[in-house]
Homo-oligomer: A and B are copies of this chain.
Amino acid sequence: MESLLYEQLADRLIDHIEEGVYPVGSRLPSVRALAKSEQVSIATVTSAYSILEERGWAEPRPKSGYFVKRTAIEPLSMPKKSRAKTSPRAVTVAELAMAIQRGAAASRGVVFSAAIPDLEFPIAEVVKRNFTRLSRYSSSFGNGYETPEGLLELRLQIARRAIDAGVHISPDALITTMGAQNAISHALRALTTAGDIVAVESPCYFGLLQMIEGFGLKAIEIPTDPVTGISVDALTLALQRWPIKAILTIPAFTNPLGCIIPMEKKRILIQLAQRYDIPIIEDDIYGDLQFEGRRSKALKSIDPDGRVLWCSSVSKTMDPHLRVGWIAPGRYYDEVLQQKFVSEISSPTLPQVVTAEIMKKGLYDRHLRHARASYHQRYMRLLELAREHFPESMRVSSAKGGLVAWFEMPRSVDATELYYICREEDIHIAPGELFSVSGLYQNCFRLSFSNEWTPEREQAIAFIGRILKKMT
């Protein structure tokens, strides 16, 4: 499927703005003039200008038309809105993804490729201490297998903390899992069978694309705006054209773009899901890692009829080794519980006890305050370093939270080649190729900024910059 006429027009206008054809502050062509010169309808031009406005490229002035606005992030440019091909394709990123995962796990060098929290934070010591302390009581953990829905004490703590995300939920509506990937896998299995189509953001976190491939499903990539997230228009069109079985989205700090879907758009997403009577799987693992302001509300918080399956974990916020996550599957509770039960019977008890205890004592929330501020600083430092070392023509996402940033380079850059060159120096990045099933992001890459900046890490950025400059 080609992108819509007005999206194409909007993209062309943005290109013109970037190229300086329309400088900041200048008046854009009138709707009527543009319709004539581009040989499109008035409605198409109006829609294109709305997109420019939505993305912060233009602003309307009463009775004067549209004017070019300063872009939101200065002086860095945002990645262009993705031009994902919205037709289902088989996923083929698995091998590269696993090689990258392995490389990063084995490396003693500089790892920017994995979205892993900083394990040097004091909370790591708290986790360890609680394991040591609570393992002494492990004989009181029941007669063998934990219940399939998971430890009640942990579900209570998750329900209590969910209020932060606007989610008011009973512990009985929650199921604990082995991390969010595991939660999403149970959700997908409960909702789909092989051959079904799932709508995902584009670019999309490769772990989700791999899961879709592994389950014999097809991914349809929905173009995603680096500021406002998934394109509602493209999603609507995809829903009209394809028998999509589920929408899989990361509304808070979309991996890799780092953006938040605005509340208004969240409401539209819910309405769309209702109209087409399909579920939304919400991956909210980064939700607690918002840099500034109040934590944004989850999609689940405005889910009137239980069609949102809210998935999260402590893997990004505390420690992936815990393998503790959860799902609030709404109306799909029974099906998801069955998938968990038949796949694993139950999750290990001790990590659930440890996580519940740390949440209960408020240590998790205290840690989050510290972590949010640190990650924000580290992100800002990454931007500084990128500005210093990367080619001027780069664009970088404006992350509002999470652990990763997305870089877009000129077309001449081959990020997969960059990945291999860096790997020789034991520097690990996540090439853009991973984030698409249709080879869209060959000139992009994702860097994690969760670790403290050391001279070694800063030099690694400089190294990447030197290679990039050779490529451009």
Contacts and interface: CB of A to CB of B under 8 A. Distances in A.
Q: How many protomers of this protein does the assembly include?
A: 2
Contacts of A346: 323
A179 B345 contact: yes
Contacts of A339: 214
A342 B132 contact: no
A395 B301 CA distance: 57
Contact of A181 (B117, B119, B344, B350): B344
A144 interface: yes
A343 interface: yes
A470 interface: no
A453 interface: no
A467 interface: no
A196 to B, nearest CB: 10
A343 B147 contact: no
Contact of A98 (B119, B185, B321, B341): B341
A210 interface: yes
Interface stretch (A135-143, A252-260, A292-300): A135-143
Complex A-B, nearest 10 residue pairs according to Cβ-Cβ distance, in ascending order:
A131-B135, A116-B144, A214-B342, A211-B342, A185-B343, A323-B348, A193-B194, A144-B320, A132-B135, A182-B344
Contacts of A131: 131, 135, 138, 350
A102 interface: yes
Interface string A119-148: 100001101100110011011011111111
Nearest to A340: B214
A42 interface: no
A349 B351 CA distance: 11
Interface of A: 94, 98, 101-102, 104-105, 111, 114, 116-117, 119, 124-125, 127-128, 131-132, 135-136, 138-139, 141-148, 178-179, 181-182, 185, 189, 193-194, 207, 210-211, 213-216, 319-323, 337-339, 341-351
Contacts of A119: 139, 143-144
Given A342-B214, A343-B185, A344-B179, A139 B128 contact: yes
Contacts of A193: 193-194, 216
Nearest to A193: B194
A98 B341 CA distance: 8
A105 B142 CA distance: 7
A432 to B, nearest CB: 20
Nearest to A111: B143
Nearest to A125: B139
B185 A344 contact: yes
A342 B215 contact: yes
Nearest to A211: B342
Given A215-B342, A321-B350, A348-B351, A147 B181 contact: no
Given A114-B145, A132-B132, A343-B343, 5 more contacts: A101-B148, A114-B143, A178-B344, A194-B194, A322-B348
A105 B321 contact: no
Contacts of A210: 338, 341-342
Interface centre among A124, A144, A182, A344 (most CB of B within 10 A): A144
A338 B322 CA distance: 21
A105 B147 contact: yes
10 contacts: A101-B148, A101-B341, A105-B146, A114-B145, A181-B342, A181-B343, A185-B343, A194-B194, A214-B339, A214-B343
A182 B182 CA distance: 12
A143 B321 CA distance: 9
B116 A143 contact: yes
A320 B145 contact: yes
Nearest to A194: B193
A181 B148 CA distance: 13
Contacts of A341: 98, 101, 210, 214
A331 to B, nearest CB: 18
A136 B131 CA distance: 8
